Amino acid sequence: MEIRDFGQLGPVSALTLGGGGIGGVLGPTDRAEAVATVHAAIEAGITSLDVAPTYGPDNEAEQVVGAALRARPAPEVMITTKVELPDEYDDLPGRMRSSLEASLARLGRDHLDLFLAHSQLRPAASELTVPRTLGWERYVDDVVPTFVRLQEEGLIRGWGLTAVGYPPAILAALAAEPRPYAAQMVVNALDLSGDMWIFGDAGEPQNPTLVAAAADAGVPVMAIRAVASGALTDQLDREPNAPTREDYDRAAGFRALAADLGQTPATLAHRYALSVPGVATVVLGVKNRTELAEVVAAEAAGPLSEAEWQAIIKLC
C-alpha cells in the first residue's frame, strides 16, 4: 500500500476505508462482515478510517469501527468522523462538542485524528436558502473557533470540511486562516456529483477547480465518490436514487472503456481517483471483504498510464 503525505497529520495510506459501505448506506451488509472488513483493511495496509454518526441506522459505521478496534486494537490507525452543522442549530459549538463526545464513546477513543464539518457551505452574505447548509458567517464565527478549542483541549488532532458545498465558499475556506487540515472532495472519472450537488441551477460543482485550489493551499484532499455512488461500477446493487440512476446511464461509455482495457469499471474508477494530482487518499465505499479486495488490487496495480488517462479524458 502506497503511503502518501497527509499534511500536518503525517503520512496516510493511499486508500481510506469509508463508513458508508460498512454502515449499510451503500447496500446491504451485516455487522460481522462489516467488522471483518475493517480488520481486512488494516491488514492490507490501510491506515485511515473515515466514518460519521449519520452513516447507517443508530450510528452503525461508528459502532462497527468501535467493535472492530476493541476486538483488535490498532492505536496507530487514524480515525475521521464528522458533525452536521446546519444553520438550523442555534448552538453550533454545543452541537459540535456533544457530537464529538458521543462519537468518541462509540469509537472507544479519547481523541479523533480528524473532525469534519459535514454540512455544505454557503458563501458570505448569500441569498441562497438551501435547507441544512452552513452559512459562511457562522462557519467563521462559531465553527472554526470551536474546532481550534477542541484541538487545544487535545480532543482532536485536526479539523476540516466535507468540501462539496457552493464553490466560492469552499475556495474562501481554503484561503482563510486557519486553514483546514483536510478537505473531502468529489473526485471521479466522469466528474459526477450526483445527489451531493444541492444548489440546483444556482451554480455548478467545479470539483476539479476545488481540488487544484486545495493543492495550491496545501490542504490535503480526501477523494470521495470515486465510483459515483455506484454509477461507475458494473451494475447497481441497490435501488438507486434518481441522480445515481441518471449517472449510471450516463456512464455506459466508461463501462465500455473499462472492458476494452481489460479492467472492471470499479478498478478503473479507483485507479483514476488515485492518479489525480492533489489527492492524498481515496475514501472507499466498500461494504464487504470482496469489494475491498478488488480496490486493494486496483491500488496495487499503480497509477494510470498516459494512454489510459487520455482515454478517460476523451470520454469526459
What pLDDT digit, counting tens, does each position of 3-36 carry? 999 999 999 999 999 999 999 998 889 999 999 9
Q: Is the pLDDT of residue 256 over 90?
A: yes
Cβ atoms 139, 184 nearer than 8 A:
no
DSSP characters for 128-197?
Answer: ---TT-EEHHHIIIIIHHHHHHHHHTTSBS-EEEE--S-HHHHHHHHHSSSPPSEEEEE--TT---GGG-
Look at residue 316 in the predicted model and tell me its pLDDT. 79
Contacts of 76 (CB under 8 A, 6+ apart): 47
Strand, coil or helix: 126? coil
Give residue 292's pLDDT band: very low, low, confident or very high (50, 70, 90): very high
Strand, coil or helix: 249? helix
Look at residue 237 in the predicted model and tell me its pLDDT. 85
Beta bridge partners of 183: 161, 221
Domain positions in the chain are: 3-315
Half-sphere CA count of 5, side-chain side, radius 13 A: 8
Q: Is the pLDDT of residue 128 over 90?
A: no
Q: Is the pLDDT of residue 226 over 90?
A: yes
Cβ atoms 139, 161 nearer than 8 A:
no
Look at residue 24 in the predicted model and tell me its pLDDT. 93
CA distances from 248 to 28, 121, 237, 274, 284 (A): 19, 27, 12, 21, 18
pTM over the 0.85 mark:
yes
Give residue 209's pLDDT band: very low, low, confident or very high (50, 70, 90): very high
Give residue 238's pLDDT band: very low, low, confident or very high (50, 70, 90): confident
Is the CATH code 1.10.645.10 the one for domain 3-315?
no
Lowest mean pLDDT among 70-84, 85-99, 213-227, 231-245: 231-245
Look at residue 257 in the predicted model and tell me its pLDDT. 97
